[in-house]
């Protein structure tokens, strides 16, 4: 960790929202040292691509690369890369560390690309800034790509060194336009014409690094730049963004101690809760998990276990994807989603399978790997993602826009805790009445199942909830200090049939010696009337 004010008595500067490495270092913010990755990348290859979820540290890492290639050694004092560079200098007398190179840094983070020609305007602004340094083209009407080609060549000739190209959030102009097919295709074409330069002018390039949330498998930037080394699932770079448990303990123990005291916890209890809430992202099956850095630093600052990643909003492109398919929320239960490596990188706007997008966006992560079938098992990385995602689904599937709505999960929890099954029934009646439909359509099986699934999964924040679909187990089992609930739901059946199944299958058998009150509930949903028709408690 580098930064000023390291004493426990003084509140240290946490880098919330700081994405500029130079600002972070000069202003004394805490920094988890990732510069060993900078050294490794700089000395083992040239063109790279990295995908990571939003607010996961991509921009800060790219800014770190920029400072390195610009030769700003003073910013790296005390960090790993200085030691590694010095060791290399000692081994090779001809090598000179921290030599500056011409850097072309494209930042697509700040702009709105939903306007025609917005992408061309952003590229044009970048080019004009660099032309002030390296000279303007003779032909003022030259295309963007030809101007970029000229800049790479002139920069190399003037400095005697090849250029470095860094591209931050390349996919933002594409993700923001998924609802506008023509504009999305237009932006793809612009990318093809502009960034194909990186392949044809390779002899003028020293280093190339692109980042994004997604890897559009059929975007010509990747088909043309087939030499890009995709390190997204490379074990060597699994910790390049995010914070490992070791890094957290090494760098943030004063904040952990303060948070534990604020929450009336021991440090061990606080660490366990932090792990459950923010850890669990895996970018290789054998790699250590990493914490979401944005959420972790915010939690330390506010000393609260909040949903900070989700407070920034679920991306519009993701919700649009869900609305375009008959989405089954149960699909993302831990242990039920499988994919091979090619599937995880196959994001296309016309792909009906949401798994690649959800994995690349950080809503799913690697849980295990089957070598025999070369298949990944995916699931939610942690509680913040799991419960935040489920909460974000409620408006999408139930048209919930009123804050005081029947979907208030706290009220479901209170009904469950006190055994008020009548109130619980009324809440389900209200929810099923809000299922989206047209006059000619019945609510689908997924409409009905998603309501049940989302409610009980969210209840898992407050009580022990199990949801089952295989034969031999009740649909839902909920346990509190006073009650054990066995739920069985039928679509276009009867509550009597549901209760009969509970008895015939012996779902209650494991609880015969339990001192808590056992409550069996059979419920029937009528798709013709679009309502919860029957609800029987015994």
Provide the CATH number for the domain around residue 67. Answer: 3.40.50
Residues 465 and 500 in one domain: yes
136 found inside a domain: yes
Instruction: Express each pLDDT in 218-228 by its tens digit.
Output: 555 656 666 78
pLDDT of res. 469? 55
Instruction: Determine what percent of the chain is predicted with pLDDT higher than 70.
Output: 85
Residue 162: the pLDDT is: 97
Lowest mean pLDDT among 25-34, 343-352, 374-383: 343-352
The contacts of residue 133 (CB under 8 Å, 6+ apart) are none
* Statement to judge: residues 373 and 409 lie in one domain: no
Of the chain, the end-to-end C-alpha distance in Å amounts to 59
The angle that helices 409-418 and 421-433 make with each other, rounded to 10 degrees, is 150
Flag whether 474 is in a domain.
Answer: yes
421 and 345 share one domain: no
Token couple for 519: 């409550």
| Shared domain check, 412 and 376 | no
pLDDT of residue 350: 63
Same domain, 81 and 140: yes
- Can you tell me the distance from the alpha carbon of 123 to that of 109, in angstroms, rounded to the nearest whole number? 13
CATH number of the domain encompassing residue 426: 3.40.1350
pLDDT tens per residue, range 178-234: 778 899 889 988 988 898 888 888 899 999 999 998 876 555 565 666 678 899 999
**Are residue 217 and residue 358 in the same domain, yes or no?**
no
Task: Count how many domains the chain has.
Answer: 3
Average confidence (pLDDT) over 483-511: 93
- Cα angle: 80, vertex 45, 75; to 5 degrees: 30
Inside any domain, residue 1: no
375: alpha, beta or left? (left if phi > 0; alpha if psi -120 to 50): beta
Regarding whether 225 and 120 lie in a shared domain, the answer is yes
Match 């000229």 to its residue by tokens.
150
Digit-coded pLDDT (tens) for 220-279: 565 666 678 899 999 999 999 999 999 999 999 999 999 999 999 999 999 999 999 999
Asked whether residue 469 is assigned to any structural domain, the reply reads: yes
| Domain, as residue range, for 323 | 316-383
* pLDDT band at residue 402 under the 50/70/90 scheme: very low
Chosen domain end from 222, 237, 252: 237
pLDDT at 192: 84
Is residue 291, in this structure, part of any structural domain at all?
A: no
Comparing 88-102, 213-227, 273-287, 301-315, the range with the smallest average pLDDT is 213-227
Bridge partners, residue 1, by sequence: none
443-453 pLDDT tens trace? 455 567 778 88
Same domain, 332 and 231: no
509 and 480 in a common domain? yes
Mean model confidence pLDDT for the chain = 87
Same domain, 326 and 429: no
Going by pLDDT thresholds of 50, 70 and 90, the confidence category of residue 8 is very low
Contact 124, 165 (CB under 8 A): no
The pLDDT value given to residue 109? 87
pLDDT band at 111 (very low <50, low <70, confident <90, very high): confident
**244 found inside a domain:** no
pLDDT for 413: 92
Q: Are residues 407 and 358 in the same domain?
A: no
To the nearest 10 degrees (0 to 180), the angle between helices 35-44 and 58-69 is 60
* Least confident piece of the model among 65-79, 271-285, 442-456: 442-456
Confidence of residue 440 (pLDDT cuts 50, 70, 90): very low
Which of 383, 411, 426 is the endpoint of a domain?
A: 383
Question: CA-CA distance, 168 to 59, in Å (whole number)?
Answer: 6
Laid out side by side, the sheet with 483-491 consists of 464-467, 476-479, 483-491, 517-526, 531-537
The residue that leads in pLDDT, 325 or 445, is 325
Position 461 confidence tier, pLDDT thresholds 50, 70, 90: confident
Residues 373 and 442 in one domain: no
Name the band, by pLDDT with cuts 50, 70 and 90, for residue 105.
very high
Higher pLDDT, 336 or 362: 362
Mean pLDDT over residues 278-298, rounded? 96
Model confidence band, residue 403 (pLDDT cutoffs 50, 70, 90): very low
Q: Span 2-18, mean pLDDT? A: 67
Of the listed ranges 243-257, 364-378, 465-479, 493-507, the least confidently predicted one is: 465-479
More confident: 375 or 333 = 375
With beta carbons less than 8 A apart as the criterion, state whether 164 and 41 touch.
no
Contact by Cβ (8 Å): 64, 21:
yes
Is residue 66, in this structure, part of any structural domain at all?
Answer: yes
For the question of whether the overall pTM of this predicted structure is more than 0.85, the answer is: yes
Q: Which of 184, 215, 237 is the last residue of a domain?
A: 237
Stretch among 313-322, 510-519, 525-534 having the lowest mean pLDDT: 313-322
Residue whose C-alpha is closest to residue 439's, from 323, 322, 530, 324: 530
The per-residue pLDDT for 223 is: 60
For the ranges 153-167, 178-192, 227-241, 306-320, the lowest mean pLDDT is seen at 306-320
Query: Per-residue pLDDT for 399 more than 70?
Result: no
Beta bridge partners of 166: 105, 209
Confidence grade of residue 127 (pLDDT, cut at 50, 70, 90):
very high
Domain contains 134: yes
Helix ranges (DSSP H) in 265-329: 267-278, 293-302, 308-311, 316-323
């Amino acid at each position: 960790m580098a930064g000023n004010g390291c004493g426990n008595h003084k509140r240290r500067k946490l880098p919330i929202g700081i994405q500029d490495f130079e600002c972070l270092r000069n202003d004394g913010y805490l920094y988890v040292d990732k510069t060993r990755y900078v050294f490794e990348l700089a000395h083992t290859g040239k063109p790279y691509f990295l995908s990571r979820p939003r607010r996961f540290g991509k921009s800060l890492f790219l800014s770190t690369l920029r400072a390195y290639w610009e030769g700003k050694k003073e910013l790296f004092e005390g960090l790993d890369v200085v030691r590694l560079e010095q060791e290399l200098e000692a081994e090779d007398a001809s090598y000179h560390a921290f030599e500056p190179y011409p850097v072309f840094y494209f930042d697509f983070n700040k702009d709105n690309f939903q306007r025609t020609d917005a992408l061309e305007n952003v590229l044009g602004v970048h080019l004009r800034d660099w032309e002030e340094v390296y000279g303007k083209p003779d032909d003022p009407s030259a295309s963007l790509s030809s101007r970029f080609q000229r800049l790479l060549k002139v920069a190399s000739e003037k400095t005697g060194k090849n250029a470095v190209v860094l591209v931050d959030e390349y996919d933002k102009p594409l993700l923001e336009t998924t609802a506008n097919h023509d504009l999305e295709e237009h932006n793809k074409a612009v990318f093809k014409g502009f960034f194909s330069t990186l392949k044809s002018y390779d002899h003028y390039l020293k280093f190339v690094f692109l980042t994004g949330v997604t890897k559009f498998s059929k975007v010509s930037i990747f088909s043309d730049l087939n030499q890009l080394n995709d390190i997204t699932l490379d074990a060597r770079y699994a910790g390049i963004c995010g914070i490992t448990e070791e890094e957290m303990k090494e760098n943030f123990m004063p904040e952990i101690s303060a948070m534990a005291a604020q929450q009336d916890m021991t440090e061990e209890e606080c660490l366990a809760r932090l792990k459950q809430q923010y850890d669990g992202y895996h970018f290789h099956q054998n790699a250590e998990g990493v914490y979401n850095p944005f959420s972790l630093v915010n939690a330390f600052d506010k000393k609260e276990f909040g949903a900070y990643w989700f407070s920034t909003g679920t991306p519009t492109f993701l919700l649009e994807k869900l609305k375009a398919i008959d989405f089954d929320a149960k699909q993302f239960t831990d242990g039920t989603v499988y994919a091979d490596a090619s599937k995880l990188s196959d994001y296309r706007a016309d792909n009906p399978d949401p798994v690649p997008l959800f994995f690349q966006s950080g809503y799913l992560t690697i849980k295990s790997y089957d070598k025999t079938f070369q298949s990944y098992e995916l699931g939610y990385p942690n509680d913040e993602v799991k419960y935040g995602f489920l909460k974000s689904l409620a408006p999408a599937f139930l048209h919930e826009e009123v804050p005081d709505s029947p979907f208030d999960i706290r009220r479901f929890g209170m009904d469950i805790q006190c055994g008020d099954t009548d109130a619980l029934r009324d809440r389900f009646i209200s929810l099923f009445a809000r299922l989206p439909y047209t006059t000619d359509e019945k609510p689908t099986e997924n409409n009905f199942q998603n309501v049940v699934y989302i409610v009980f999964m969210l209840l898992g924040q407050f009580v022990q909830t199990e949801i089952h679909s295989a034969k031999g187990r009740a649909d839902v089992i909920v346990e509190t200090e006073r009650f054990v609930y066995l739920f069985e739901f039928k679509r276009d059946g009867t509550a009597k049939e549901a209760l009969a199944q509970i008895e015939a299958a012996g779902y209650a058998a494991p609880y015969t010696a339990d001192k808590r009150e056992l409550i069996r509930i059979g419920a029937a949903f009528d798709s013709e009337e679009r309502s919860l028709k029957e609800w029987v408690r015994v």
